[in-house]
């Protein structure tokens, strides 16, 4: 699974980081970004910054997507439908696509 965050929708509450600090981080700008192997992918962010989620973290990432009040977490998963590209119709937080 690979994920990214639509920073335009992020409310900055940090719930994603509470669920999985290995994949999500809240920066000084008050917005969440994904991280991969400890590297924060905030440049440029958005759909251009996809993080690979380790298998052991997938459950926590799904929980984060379900709780995300901004519904800003996005999934790019080759298993299902290829890479999503920022379409607002992709609402993973409450979409079946986030369930295994």
Where on the chain is the footprint of ligand SF4 (CB under 6 A)? 5, 10-16, 24, 26, 32, 68-70, 72-73
Secondary structure of 4-55 in HEC code, one letter for each residue: EECCCCCCCCCHHHHHCCCCEEECCCCCEEEEECCEECCCCCHHHCCEECCH
Alpha carbon of 64 to those of 17, 75: distances in Å?
A: 8, 12
Would you say 45 or 70 has its CB closer to ligand SF4? 70
Would you say 11 or 77 has its CB closer to ligand SF4? 11
Would you say 49 or 72 has its CB closer to ligand SF4? 72
Nearest to 17 by CA among 77, 47, 57: 57
Least distance CB 7 / ligand SF4 (angstroms): 8
Least distance CB 33 / ligand SF4 (angstroms): 9
Least distance CB 86 / ligand SF4 (angstroms): 14
Least distance CB 66 / ligand SF4 (angstroms): 10
Query: How many angstroms separate the CA atoms of 69 and 91, rounded?
Result: 11
């Amino acid at each position: 699974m690979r994920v990214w965050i639509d920073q335009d929708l992020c409310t900055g509450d940090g719930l994603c980081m509470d669920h999985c600090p290995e994949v999500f981080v809240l920066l000084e700008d008050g917005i969440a970004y994904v991280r991969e192997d400890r590297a924060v992918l905030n440049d440029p962010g958005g759909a251009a910054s996809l993080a690979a989620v380790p298998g052991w973290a997938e459950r926590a990432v799904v929980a984060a997507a379900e709780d995300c009040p901004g519904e800003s977490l996005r999934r790019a998963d080759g298993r299902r439908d290829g890479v999503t590209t920022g379409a607002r119709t992709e609402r993973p937080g409450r979409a079946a696509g986030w369930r295994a």
